[in-house]
Chains A and B, each alone.
Chain A
Amino acid sequence: MVYKSPNKGMTVIVKTVTRLTLAFILIYGIYIGMTGGVSPGGGFTGGVILALAFVHIMLAFGKEAALRKLRANTLRMVMGPAAFIFLLGVATGRVPEEIGAICEMVIVGTGLFAIFIALVLASKSDRNSE
């Protein structure tokens, strides 16, 4: 289990809280993503929350742990098709609204997480792993 590396990331308090809240953040993100219309929410907001869940792992456990959970390769493989299905929905209007919302969530979530990864990898000092 990736969480068992005591030297990396932040203190044990943060790690424990992250471990406990992670599932709730993910569920909340999906809930926000799937609602919309009359209530606050929508694919974009939900995607942001999903991305924040992984950013949370990265801050608490270090970038290796987060990248082991969700590899850059996976991001690429998921993001392209999701964007394609979303575009198909825009073009034809035949894709159900729920699937469109899920795709938007995936696009925004993977996109934001990819940007965060890029910023972390591009930073000079390697603070996360110390």
Chain B
Amino acid sequence: MTPQALVPYMIFVPLAAAFLIPPFGKKFKRAGDAIPCAASVCVTTLGLYLASSVALSKVLVHKPYGWQAPFGTAFVVDGLSGIFLVAMNIVALVVAVYSIGYLNTYTDRWKFSSLFMLMLAGINGVLISGDIFTLYVFLEIAAISGYFLVAFGIAPDGLEAAFKYAVMGALASVFVLLGIALIYAHTSTLSIAGIASVISVGQQTDVLKFATVLLLVAFSIKAALVPFHAWLPYAYSSAPAPISAMLAGVSTKVLGIYTIMRIFFVMFEMTPQVSMVLIALGVASMVVASILAFVQVDIKRLFAYSSISQIGYVALGLGVGTPLAVFGALFHLLNHSAFKPLLFLASGAITRLTGTRNLGKIRGVMKDSPVTGTATLVGSLSICGIPPLGGFWSKLIIILACIQAGRPVLALVAVVVSVLTLAYYFRSITQVIFGKSVIRGQREGAVTVSMAIAMVTLVIISASMAILLLPNTGNAVLKEAVSVILNGKSYSAMVAGVLK
């Protein structure tokens, strides 16, 4: 099969897994574990293959059922979605492996596996869809399975968090749908490439401005940028650890940031107003979330606030909009989707070790479980920006890009927030890792083999993220994605050319 024909299998494989788990998962417990892992391995391999084909042919377009350009849907993989497909599916694979061990205290695990695969199908669907309505449909699939997965523990706080998440998420979805309806009424096409070519001919009308505002608000809710972040600390802290990792590493990135890149950079032309809004949201997220992180006593809430703050860096980089800044934003996003899932997976192991999420009571994880301690240490060092690790390079690039773009104030804010991050991690996490052990929870078998494998994998990945900066290897991949973001019009022309 040609690579083009393989593109929709990014959706089919996880969907098929999700449908096969219900009949077998309850009888055969192992099937509920094996099917998601097998499907994730398939999808990750496929993602790697597609990304390598994209490196050769720039853009892969699959037209299902031979529908022609302005009417039919199309699945498109380009440099930007290629790099996302690889990164997100690797995180999902690691999380699937982790949840084998983590969920052995839960009942009805097949439901978890099935919903997890549905979520992955939605994520991959958002990444490969070439028109905005298909994007909306898959965004809903991913979001709705997310609401259920947050509530999976059926603890009161989990249900409350899921309800908050569902209300905010539904609001965002309505905004997206209204925005899409307005754009469709204005341009008479739903295909991203088609809309881009129509808009570039016409002027920015009031309808399009209104649609821009709606979509920007909606995707900011999904990405949890600061005025819209209220759901995130609840959802991340109450969900089961694999789901916190999945939401932090994959869901907010794809449903929020990737869609912002795709819609505002590739489909619309980037206007100074939108970039100003992105910078404002980014700075607000960075500052407010890192100040709020100081007063957290719950380890998962601390990680949640630091997640908001790090997403702020990405939004800032996208808002500044120079090639270097976008490169830094993308690199920081990839870094963050390596070390934040690592921290959440480690927090799950810590919770099982000690039986509490209270930062004041967790002490000396390194002595009780060296794997968990190392994972927390590497994740924290990377997020604080300690030199050899990936987080340092991406923050440095964003700061340099701000200076280069003639915005020293933004660079100063980025430096200050970086110091704040170091401060609150140092204050909260040092005792957790190195303090004197006073363990109370279940100790034997708290960190299972599969959990250890998952954490070690992510430690290796987040320690070696700097490889992506080496010229001619990872750098080329990132550059390709950056050029897609910055030259949206040429991408659209290329896709439209293939679709004709």
Contacts and interface: CB of A to CB of B under 8 A. Distances in A.
Given A91-B8, A91-B9, A91-B12, A83 B19 contact: yes
Interface of B: 8-9, 12, 15-16, 19-23, 26
Nearest to A90: B12
Contact of B23 (A77, A87, A88, A90): A77
B21 A80 contact: yes
A87 B22 contact: no
Task: Tell me what chain B mostly uses at the interface: helix, strand, loop, or mixed.
Answer: helix
Nearest to B22: A80
Nearest to B21: A80
Interface of A: 76-77, 79-81, 83-84, 87-88, 90-91
A90 to B, nearest CB: 8
A81 B8 contact: no
27 contacts: A76-B22, A76-B23, A76-B26, A77-B22, A77-B23, A79-B22, A80-B19, A80-B20, A80-B21, A80-B22, A80-B23, A81-B19, A81-B20, A81-B23, A83-B19, A84-B16, A84-B19, A84-B20, A87-B12, A87-B15, A87-B16, A87-B19, A88-B16, A90-B12, A91-B8, A91-B9, A91-B12
Given A76-B22, A81-B19, A81-B23, 16 more contacts: A77-B22, A77-B23, A80-B20, A80-B22, A80-B23, A81-B20, A83-B19, A84-B19, A84-B20, A87-B12, A87-B15, A87-B16, A87-B19, A88-B16, A91-B9, A91-B12
Contacts of B20: 80-81, 84
5 pairs of A and B residues whose beta carbons are closest in the complex? A80-B22, A83-B19, A84-B19, A80-B23, A91-B12
The prevalent SS among residues of A at the interface is: helix
Contacts of B8: 91
Contacts of B12: 87, 90-91
Contacts of B21: 80
A84 B22 CA distance: 11
Contacts of A76: 22-23, 26
Contacts of B16: 84, 87-88
B115 to A, nearest CB: 13
Nearest to A84: B19
Nearest to B9: A91
Contacts of B19: 80-81, 83-84, 87
Interface centre among B19, B23, B26 (most CB of A within 10 A): B19
Nearest to A79: B22
Contacts of A88: 16
A80 B21 CA distance: 8
A88 B20 CA distance: 12
Contacts of A87: 12, 15-16, 19
B303 to A, nearest CB: 33
Contacts of A90: 12
Contacts of B9: 91
Nearest to B24: A80
A93 to B, nearest CB: 8
A87 B117 CA distance: 14
B207 to A, nearest CB: 32
A44 to B, nearest CB: 15
A81 B16 CA distance: 9
Contacts of A91: 8-9, 12
Contacts of A77: 22-23
A47 B173 CA distance: 27
A95 to B, nearest CB: 13
A91 B12 CA distance: 7
A75 to B, nearest CB: 9
